[in-house]
Every structure is written in structure tokens, then in C-alpha cells.
Structure 1
Amino acid sequence: MSELEKKRVEKLLTAYCENKIPPDLREQIRIEYRIRGNEVSLFESRPHWQGGGEWISMKVARFKKDPKTETWQLYWADRNSKWRPYPPLPYHRDIEKLLQEVEKNETGAFWG
């Protein structure tokens, strides 16, 4: 992913994560993302149930850029935390369109 595209994706996901959870609940739940190469992972994080300041992250969605086709592929995490292609909309040229699909969550694959 180019630096320009990486900055665009960071801006998009930062805004998404900040707007997803109201400020007064951010000590109880957070939506976070990580970028690694051509992959972007979206996580839901909560404080560990035993306390101690540690947070536990659960996989929500993964977006993977295919440099050959210039498309983003969308994945969901199954009950064993394995990434699986998302059949209703497996890929799109615009990551924002896939993020909208995650937000709609019509199949229940992303947000439990």
C-alpha cells in the first residue's frame, strides 16, 4: 500500500473508531485498528475481566489489499479466530465500501 493510501486509510479508520464508541464508554470498550503491510485489522477491545489494566482484543474484520488487482478483500473471524473471506461482498476497490459492509453487519459475522 502506498504511503498516500496508508494515510487515507488511517484517517478513515481513526474517524470510524472514534465515532463508533461514545466518549463516556471508552474506558469500557474501544474499537481499534492495526496496519501491517497491505493488511488492516479491526478489533474490539475491552478491559480484562480480572482487571490489572490489561485489555483483551477480539477480531472483528480484516481488509487485505491485493496489489495486482488494486482491490481490498474483506474477511471475518470465525469462532476459532480464523480469518474467512466474507461471501456477500468479498472484495471492492474502495475500503470505505467494505467498512460500510462491516458496519451494516447483515449476517452477524462482525459484531456479535
Structure 2
Amino acid sequence: MGSEWTRLPVARLRYAKNTGTWTLYYRDRNLRFHRYDLIPPTGNMAELLDELDRDPTAIFWG
């Protein structure tokens, strides 16, 4: 493979100004994002980043 890097987004965090919450989204094979519904929207972004790190369903990191 060599030293070449590629970049592909695996997740998206969206902030809803009206509710003050962050929502986690995952990307499908067609490069479309869908709401990750195993954790509700939250005002604490760290909770979503922890869920992304843990990846209990292997939807983010395979």
C-alpha cells in the first residue's frame, strides 16, 4: 500500500442550536449519513465521542 493516505468520513456530529444538543450520524456505503439512534442527542459532545470510540455495533470502524 505504501505511504499514501486516504480520507473518508466515518461519522458526523451535528449541533442543533434550538435545542442545544449534538447528534451523532454514521455514513453508509453510499456515502450518505444517517442518524445513529443507539444514543440520544445530548448537550455533552464527549458522550457521543465516547460512543464513537467504543463503536459497539462496528458501524463506524468496522
TM-score, normalising length: structure 1:
0.50
- 1:62 to partner: Cα distance: 0.5
Distance 2:21 2:49 in 1: 13
Q: Could you say which residue in structure 2 is the equivalent of 1:93?
A: 43
Percentage identity across paired residues of the two chains: 35
Task: Answer whether contact 1:75 1:90 (CA < 8 A) is retained.
Answer: no
- 1:91 to partner: Cα distance: 1.3
Q: Could you say which residue in structure 1 is the equivalent of 2:11?
A: 61
Higher strand share: 1
Per-residue CA deviations over 1:44-89 (Å, capped at 9, x if unaligned) read xxx2xxxxxxx32111110000000000010000111101000101
Higher helix share: 1
Q: Which runs of 5+ in 2 are unaligned?
A: none
The 4+ residue runs of structure 1 with deviation greater than 2 A are none
Q: Residues 90 and 105 from structure 1, CA distance in 2 versus in 1: closer, same or farther, beyond 3 angstroms? A: same
The CA RMSD measured in Å over matched residues stands at 1.3
Greater RCO (Cα-Cα under 8 Å, separation 6 or more): 2
Question: Whose radius of gyration is greater, 1 or 2?
Answer: 1
Distance 1:56 1:87 in 2: 28
Q: Which runs of 5+ in 1 are unaligned?
A: 1-27, 29-46, 48-54
The count of residues paired between Structure 1 and Structure 2 equals 60
Q: Could you say which residue in structure 2 is the equivalent of 1:111?
A: 61
